């Protein structure tokens, strides 16, 4: 039975155990207020994405906006950055699972991003327990005993600075309805976190810090700014208390970086190169056009073509405005039992981080605690100062053409098979409640599965020729898929694997390219 917590506010998920500490009438009313004020505008902005997509499909290309040229030309800077965010040389990310939060906070990274988005499958249990875990962090009672091993975990003396990534604007939280409509997952995650933790975070010398995902325009950034202002007002906090880093992980947002910084200038401390989602966005927004037929995912590397151009543009834009330019994710994980392969993987991470530090990034991301020392050594060696805000890249010109330049590389059967395996296996993990999944020596999140299914959709849709001369028709895709599923069933067979396979093939073979894999997948989880 749904619980009526206030007039026209219903909680449709169970309130069990410590959930009562999170879903208090006051906290839910706070989220409901944000919903009533901002959900209409959120829906308008999601519709605007589709209108822009129609223009892309008709031949328009992403470009710097003529109507905001005055913002790009003017001299202005973002508000001062808090002391505990001035050195962010290595950040680790991960889901809001209790043991993982403790390990990440203790691992030696400067910052930990607790992720309600791509690294968390948003089951009701996961999102509510994640809020409990973060509340315990600020209340000084974050500990854990592993029920299998009996090993005890507790927060160390010098934990990483905590940042929280709420879900993107597109994802609903169907277990909380206000006036008959589900609230946005973004407002649910953000609202509950700040309501319960903002004062404790400030009292302990830190603050309410966020990563904002998947924005596609400065107008979407403006909406977040309005949410911040309202939340601060309701909680009796001065403007500028909340601080955010925005992930530039969509191709439209990359052409509006100045404008995004400007809209959030009281509340923003930097931008981040969200490389995996950026590839996904490139395919999703431009991939119906043969000129943008992508090569194997492995060929689309940072430092080259559109990825290299946008990372340099991000550094230049951020440093001009006094904001940090954060590097991208190293997704490698330790390879047990194969020291040579492990050394090769870590060497790849080291080279990538050297490129980032040398280019001017102020810090970087890793997905596993064992990579923290690798990345830290590189940034300590190449960035002896807390950041590189003085590295302005003045005189560098990055053009629209460079921002849209396609990577060279082949399309291969191996690449198609890998996309099938990774896409299906990750979707299976997500449906089973795990948003971060170690697959084939990489820590994968939803962005990787999105690349896999959109790239296969593009190749089939545009009749892509593989390097052996064959065309990836729907028939060839089904043949490869059937072979790969035989192996996956033998090793990982389960009802969830079959659900994942059905969803993945449906999306690859659909006439239309769906916006997000996680939207239909959300209907299949609790």
Q: Is the pLDDT of residue 59 over 70?
A: yes
- pLDDT tens for 155-197 read 999 999 999 999 999 999 999 999 999 999 999 999 999 999 9
Q: Mean of the pLDDT values across residues 12-35?
A: 97
Q: Mean of the pLDDT values across residues 386-397?
A: 96
Q: Is the pLDDT of residue 1 over 60?
A: no
The pLDDT assigned to 269 comes to 98
How crowded is the C-beta side of 142, counted as CA atoms within 13 Å? 27
- pLDDT tens for 32-41 read 999 999 999 9
Q: Is the pLDDT of residue 370 over 80?
A: yes
The pLDDT assigned to 151 comes to 95
The pLDDT assigned to 338 comes to 87
> Which long-range contacts (C-beta less than 8 Å, at least 24 apart) are formed by 66-74?
68/218, 68/256, 68/258, 68/259, 71/258, 71/259, 71/262, 72/258, 72/259
Point out the least confidently predicted range of 38-47, 200-209, 309-318, 341-350. 341-350
The pLDDT assigned to 4 comes to 63
The pLDDT assigned to 3 comes to 64
Q: 128 falls in which pLDDT band (50, 70, 90)?
A: very high
403-423 as b/e: b if 16+ CB within 10 A: bbebbebebbeebbebbbbbb
CA-CA distance, 213 to 167, in Å (whole number)?
A: 7
- pLDDT tens for 231-252 read 999 999 999 999 999 999 999 9
Q: Is the pLDDT of residue 453 over 80?
A: yes
Q: Is the pLDDT of residue 5 over 70?
A: no
Residue among 202, 185, 213, 162 nearest 35 (CA): 185
Q: 133 falls in which pLDDT band (50, 70, 90)?
A: very high
Residue among 338, 377, 383 nearest 359 (CA): 383
Tell me the whole-structure pTM to 2 decimals.
0.97
Query: Greatest CA separation found in the chain?
Result: 65
Q: Mean of the pLDDT values across residues 321-346?
A: 92
Q: Mean of the pLDDT values across residues 417-434?
A: 97
Round the average pLDDT of the chain to a whole number and report it. Answer: 96
- Percentage above 90 pLDDT, the chain: 96
Let me know: does 27 contact 9? Beta carbons within 8 Å: no
Active site residue 352: no
- SS3 for 426-492 is HHHHHHCCCCCEEECCEEECHHHHHHHHHHHHHHHHCCCECCCCCECCHHHHHHHHHHHHHHHHHHH
150 φψ region: left (φ > 0), alpha (ψ -120 to 50), beta (else): left
Q: Of these residues, 165, 275, 321, 434, which one is catalytic?
A: 165
Let me know: does 91 contact 110? Beta carbons within 8 Å: yes
Q: 2 falls in which pLDDT band (50, 70, 90)?
A: low
Q: Of these residues, 277, 445, 461, 496, which one is catalytic?
A: 445
Active site residue 98: no
From residue 154, give the alpha-carbon distance in Å to each of 113, 126, 145, 507: 18, 20, 9, 42
The pLDDT assigned to 526 comes to 83
The pLDDT assigned to 336 comes to 86
């Amino acid at each position: 039975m749904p619980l009526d917590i206030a007039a026209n506010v219903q909680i449709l998920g169970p309130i069990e155990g410590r959930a009562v500490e999170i879903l208090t009438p006051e906290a839910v009313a706070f989220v409901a207020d944000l919903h009533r004020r901002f959900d209409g505008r959120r829906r308008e902005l999601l519709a605007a994405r589709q209108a822009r997509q129609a223009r892309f499909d008709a031949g328009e290309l992403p470009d710097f906006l003529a109507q905001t040229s005055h913002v790009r030309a003017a001299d202005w800077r973002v508000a001062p950055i808090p002391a505990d965010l001035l050195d962010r040389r290595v950040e680790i990310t991960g889901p809001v699972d209790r043991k993982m939060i403790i390990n990440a906070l203790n691992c030696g990274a400067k910052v930990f991003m607790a992720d309600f988005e791509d690294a968390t499958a948003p089951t009701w249990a996961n999102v509510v327990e994640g809020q409990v875990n973060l509340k315990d962090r600020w209340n000084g009672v974050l500990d854990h005993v592993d029920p299998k091993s009996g090993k005890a975990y507790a927060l160390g003396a010098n934990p990483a600075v905590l940042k929280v990534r709420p879900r993107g604007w597109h994802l609903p939280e169907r277990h909380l309805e206000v006036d008959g409509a589900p609230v946005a997952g973004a407002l649910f995650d953000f609202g509950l976190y700040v309501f319960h933790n903002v004062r404790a975070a400030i009292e302990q010398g830190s603050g309410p810090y966020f990563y904002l995902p998947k924005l596609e325009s400065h107008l979407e950034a403006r909406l977040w700014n309005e949410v911040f202002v309202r939340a601060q007002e309701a909680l009796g906090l001065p403007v500028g208390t909340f601080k955010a880093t925005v992930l530039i992980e969509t191709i439209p947002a990359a052409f509006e970086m100045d404008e995004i910084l400007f809209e959030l200038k009281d509340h923003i401390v930097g931008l981040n190169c969200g490389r995996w989602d950026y590839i996904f966005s490139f395919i999703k927004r431009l991939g119906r056009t043969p000129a943008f037929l992508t090569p194997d995912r492995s060929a689309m590397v940072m430092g080259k073509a559109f990825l290299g151009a946008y990372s340099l543009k991000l550094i230049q834009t951020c440093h001009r405005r006094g904001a940090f330019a954060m590097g991208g994710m190293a997704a490698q994980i330790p390879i047990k039992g194969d020291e040579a392969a492990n050394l090769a993987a870590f060497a790849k991470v080291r080279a990538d981080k050297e490129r980032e530090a040398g280019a001017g990034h102020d810090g970087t991301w890793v997905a596993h605690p064992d990579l923290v020392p690798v990345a830290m050594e590189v940034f300590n060696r190449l960035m002896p100062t807390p950041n590189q805000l003085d590295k302005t890249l003045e005189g560098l010109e990055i053009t629209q053409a460079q921002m849209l330049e396609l990577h060279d590389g082949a399309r291969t059967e191996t690449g198609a098979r890998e996309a099938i395996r990774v896409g299906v296996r990750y979707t299976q993990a997500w449906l089973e409640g795990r948003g971060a999944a170690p697959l084939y020596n990489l820590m994968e999140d939803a962005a990787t599965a999105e690349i896999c299914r959109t790239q296969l959709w593009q190749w089939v849709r545009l009749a892509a020729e593989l390097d052996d001369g064959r065309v990836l028709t729907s028939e060839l895709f089904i043949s490869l898929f059937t072979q790969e599923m035989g192996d996956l069933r033998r090793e990982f067979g389960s009802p969830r694997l079959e659900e994942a396979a059905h969803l993945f093939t449906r999306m690859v073979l659909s006439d239309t390219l769906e916006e997000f894999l996680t939207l239909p997948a959300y209907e299949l989880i609790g």
